[in-house]
Structures are given as structure tokens and as C-alpha cells.
Amino acid sequence: MCQKAKDISVVICGAAGQGIQTIEKALTVMMKQAGYHVFATREFMSRIRGGMNSTEIRIANERAASFLNRVDICIPLKQGALAHLKERLSDQTIIIGEKDTYDPEFDMFDIPVSRIAEEHGGKIYANAVATGIVLGMFGLNPDLYKAYFRQEFQSKSEEIVQNNISACGKGYESGQILKNEKGVPGIPEPAGDLAGEILMNGAEAVALGAVAGGCRFVSSYPMSPSTGVLVQCAQYARDLDLVVEQAEDEICAINMALGASYAGAGSLVTTSGGGLALMGEGISLAGMTETPVVIHLAQRPGPATGLPTRTEQGDLNLVLHAGHGEFPRIILAPGDHSQAFDLSSQAFDLAGRFQIPVFILTDQYLMDSTRNIPEPDSGRNTKNTHIIKTDMDYQRFRLTENGISPRGIPGYGNGLVCVDSDEHSEDGYITEDFNVRRKMVDKRLKKMDAMKKACIPPVFHGPEDYETLFICWGTNYHPVKDALQQNQAGKQAMLHFPQIYPVPPAADAYLKQAKRIVSVENNATGQFGRLLTLETGFFVKKYILKYTGLPFSVEELCKEMSRLS
């Protein structure tokens, strides 16, 4: 049923601290340099040392952006790694290991990685050896790894550079022998010259996209899996002219961001579900004071502490309803790295224009996966900050036809900018007048009309005569798309929503045609399907749900989706 893709999936599995990330970086960089599309996904435990983690690197001659269950080449680094991957291995899998990782249930090619590493400087070079094996199996130009290790370690010492190169070289030889002896089936041809493309993970995409969109101020509390965004912004604070501050708690984070935004700076908060839950009142404050703010939420399984390093799409309802009272918001959910950059950028314009909180929903899967993408448009033009200079008679919440009052900031003009978390009149001061109250509620909600006209439309793929429509949001874009393509089931199509809320009016036409709507989500209660049913009136009756903490694999979806044909 499902056809084999034109790629190789290499899975490296071992304990935290064994260098899986080092190997991942080496392989993704060098394979891209060799002209292959790469997609690396990490799954790891909530530990600094020990446990069992793995990374899957897809190396392909077409763009790849979904998780595969299938393992073509497996490198276990520790006893128990193969047991961990058992479900994904088949007798087609080439397992390369050494006696330490030997598992009698599996056929393995014994390459003494640790011994080779010792011979070339020490056990620490095992990663270079393992990297070399894969490079050798692919038959890549050895100049690539020589240049790579020189670049990576030249700041350390010549000896370290040389040890890495020779250890990698030995691994390369072993890989070549393996290829010639066994023949590695299905090594794809390189895609072409990918020199201009960018290797980026989800955290980088969100952080750099935010800066492109006008982000100046970041206040956050570290929380997996969102911390990468905070770190990226902090790393570049000096170069990109940002203020980045680690808050004492999430309540501080959101309030600090609102203070900075009130004073005119584009502000970003990054967090995960538990952190956002703490920010509820602050989000309500943003809505009431009509202060723009962008909040990035990288989802992980809940409730409470849940699985800190795993992935889920369980916080849609949280983000939809966070913050007591009624006020408008936008929720975006990028489908991949390129879209994460673009939407992160756009979020600032939307927040500033409508003076609302804008949420960007991602997940651990996106945050921790790396991919090559065409260079994103980092922009050239001066951004419209949507800020006006105030006059003496300025009123922050002046009633207007579309509900959006021109936004002034303190210190820019002669007017006074007064905002209040209490209900307030046009001048921003407290009021308990019932009529004014009603007018202000109407004003805030009126903004939804303009917001609905600015929706990011859903993305459709499939035949015109579809009858079954698979809907999805966030990072299920590629898995569903790949499964659809592989199934070739006929009369099945997909609709992906990079904007979840407000639900884009453009969705209606697609939903109307469907005889059956199926929602594909990584949660247990079908949150998006229910939202869509509520907002559009089209009944989502069927669901394909996964909530183990792992992303959907293409194979899984192929199976589930074809059962519905």
C-alpha cells in the first residue's frame, strides 16, 4: 500500500551525554553539503545523563519533512538501544554496533567503534567514527569531513582536529567495506546544489522570524521545549539589538513583555503549556489594555508536568481560552520550519495592527527537528509599527468604527497614554458606568471583523472531486501530505490550518464539499475538530489521534488514512 520513499533513514540511539547530537549535526551539515535534503528529528528523555534517546536523520533527494517509523541504518551506542527501537526495526535494517551494544535478537555488523576511537585519541572520538561509517556507506567525498572537523574544532586545537579527522576516516573505511560487502540498498542520488539553503531547527526559525518581524524585547522563563527560542534570542541580543531577560516566573515574563510593549517595543514571550497557564491573568490584561504581544507556546504532553521532552498538540483549548473575560486573539500554528519563520514574523504585524495577543503554537517535534529550507525572507523594508505620535487631547481607547484605536506610547508626542486593567472609558481611566462598559466590550470584540478579513487561509492538497477531507494543524502538515501522496487513495484530500483562530472563512467552502471530515491531531480529545465543528457548523465526525508523546509517522498515517477510504 505505502510506497518506499526515495530516502535513507539513519537512526542513532544511545544515552544522554553520548554525543548523539554531535553526530546529528555532523551528518546533517555534511549531507546537505553533499547535496542531500535532510530532516532530523530528536526524541529524548527528560534527563541530562543516561536514559535512552535517539535521533532520526532522513537523507533524501527530495524535500523530507516527516517522521518515518522505518529505520534503514541503525547505530546503537548503548546496551538497550535496540530494545528501545525494536518496533521500528526490520530485517531490512542495517544495524551497526559493537559488542557492548550487542543484542542477540538482532543481526548486527560488528564495527568496533570504541576501539577505533581509542586508537585515534580516545573514547570521545566515537562520534566521529560513527559519523564516518555513514559517510562511507554513502560514498561522500572525504574532503567534506576533513573540512567539517577543521571548521568545528579549529578553535580548540590542531590535535583535536586531526584526531576527529583520522577517527572519522577510519569509520569511513569501515562504511565503505560495509557498502561493498553488503551493498546498501536504495542510497539515493543527491538532489543538487543546496549551498544556498539554510539548516535550521524550529527554535531558530521562530526566534529569527520574530526578529525579522520587529521583535525587540524577549522576557521568558526557561521551560522545555520552548527554551531554545529564548537561548537563540539571547545569543544574538547584542548583534540584533534585542533586550532579552530571563524572568523569575512566567507571570513576570508576560507582565514585563506588556510593559515593554506599552512603551513601544515589539515583545515576545516563549513558554510551554504549564507556563502559559500561569500567564492567564496577564493574557487577560493584554486583551483589556489592548497591548500587542506575541506569545510562543511549544507544546508538550500534559497535564501538569506531563512529559517535558515529548510532543503533543494538547494546548489548543488552553490557548483559545486562556485569560478570563472576553477579548479577541489570533492563534497561529506553523506547519514546518519555513512557515514558523514566516508566521513568527507576521505575528508581530498582526499583534500591532489589531492590538491583541497573538499566539504561535508549535511543539517539541518542531522545536527539536532540523531541516534544510530555502533562505527565508528576512526582509529589507522598515516595518510598520502601527504606533502614532500623540496630541495633547489623545485618548488611548477612542471609539472608532472598526474598534481599533490609534495607539500612542509614552514619550512620543504630547499626549498622555493611560491604560487600565479595570474597565475604562475612552481616556483610559477607570469607570463603572454600565453603558460605557457595554460600548468597550463591543469595541474590543468589533476588532474581530477586521481580523477575520486578515486571516491566513488554510492550505488544500488533493483531487478536486474529494469526498473525504483530512483536516490538520501545526506540524501534521507534512505527515498528512506525505501519507496522502503515498496512499494515492482517490477522493481523499487534506486541508491544513496555519491559522487556527479565528477560523478562516475560506475554510467553509472546502468543508462544505466533504462527505466526511476527519481530524488528524496529536491529542486525545480532538480539540481542533471540535473547534472547527463549533465555529463552522460542519460536523467533524472522525478522528485520527495520537497522544503517546511521539509524532505521527508517515507509515502510521498511511495506514490510518487508508482505512478510511
Residues 10-39 that bind other proteins (CB under 8 A): 29, 32-33
Place of cell 504606533: 387
Strands 330-332 and 357-363: parallel
Place of cell 497557564: 277
Choose which of 124, 237, 277, 278 interacts with other proteins (CB under 8 A).
237
Taking the complex as a whole, the smallest distance from the CB of residue 291 to other proteins amounts, in Å, to 9
Residues 244 and 217: their CA atoms lie apart, in Å, by: 6
Q: Is 366 in the site for other proteins (CB under 8 A)?
A: no
In contact, 506 and 455? CB cutoff 8 Å: yes
Coil, helix or strand at residue 262: helix
Q: Name which of residues 99 to 128 contact other proteins (CB under 8 A).
A: none
In contact, 396 and 427? CB cutoff 8 Å: yes
Q: Name which of residues 423 to 452 contact other proteins (CB under 8 A).
A: 428-430
CA 513 to chain centre: 31
> Exposed, middle or buried by CB within 10 Å (0-12, 13-18, 19+), for 364?
buried
**Closest residue by Cα to residue 169 from 152, 149, 154:** 149
Nearer to other proteins, 200 or 495 (CB): 200
Taking the complex as a whole, the smallest distance from the CB of residue 66 to other proteins amounts, in Å, to 21
Q: Is 325 in the site for other proteins (CB under 8 A)?
A: no
Of 295-303, 328-336, 383-391, 487-495, the window that binds other proteins (rule: CB under 8 A) is 383-391
Nearer to other proteins, 82 or 244 (CB): 244
Nearer to other proteins, 127 or 486 (CB): 127
**Closest residue by Cα to residue 119 from 59, 180, 166:** 166
Q: Is 416 in the site for other proteins (CB under 8 A)?
A: yes
Of 43-51, 66-74, 248-256, 353-361, the window that binds other proteins (rule: CB under 8 A) is 248-256
Angle between helices 280-289 and 250-262 (to 10 degrees): 10
> Exposed, middle or buried by CB within 10 Å (0-12, 13-18, 19+), for 483?
buried
Taking the complex as a whole, the smallest distance from the CB of residue 246 to other proteins amounts, in Å, to 10
Q: Is 174 in the site for other proteins (CB under 8 A)?
A: no
Nearer to other proteins, 14 or 323 (CB): 323
**Closest residue by Cα to residue 279 from 229, 223, 225, 334:** 223
Of 173-181, 281-289, 301-309, 461-469, the window that binds other proteins (rule: CB under 8 A) is 281-289
Whether cis (ω within 30° of 0) applies to the bond prior to 502 is: yes
Taking the complex as a whole, the smallest distance from the CB of residue 32 to other proteins amounts, in Å, to 7
Q: Is 405 in the site for other proteins (CB under 8 A)?
A: no
Tell me the number of residues near other proteins by CB under 8 A.
Answer: 74
Q: Name which of residues 186 to 225 contact other proteins (CB under 8 A).
A: 195-200, 204, 208, 211-212, 214, 216-217, 219
Q: Is 294 in the site for other proteins (CB under 8 A)?
A: no
Q: Is 72 in the site for other proteins (CB under 8 A)?
A: no
Q: Is 458 in the site for other proteins (CB under 8 A)?
A: no
Coil, helix or strand at residue 473: strand
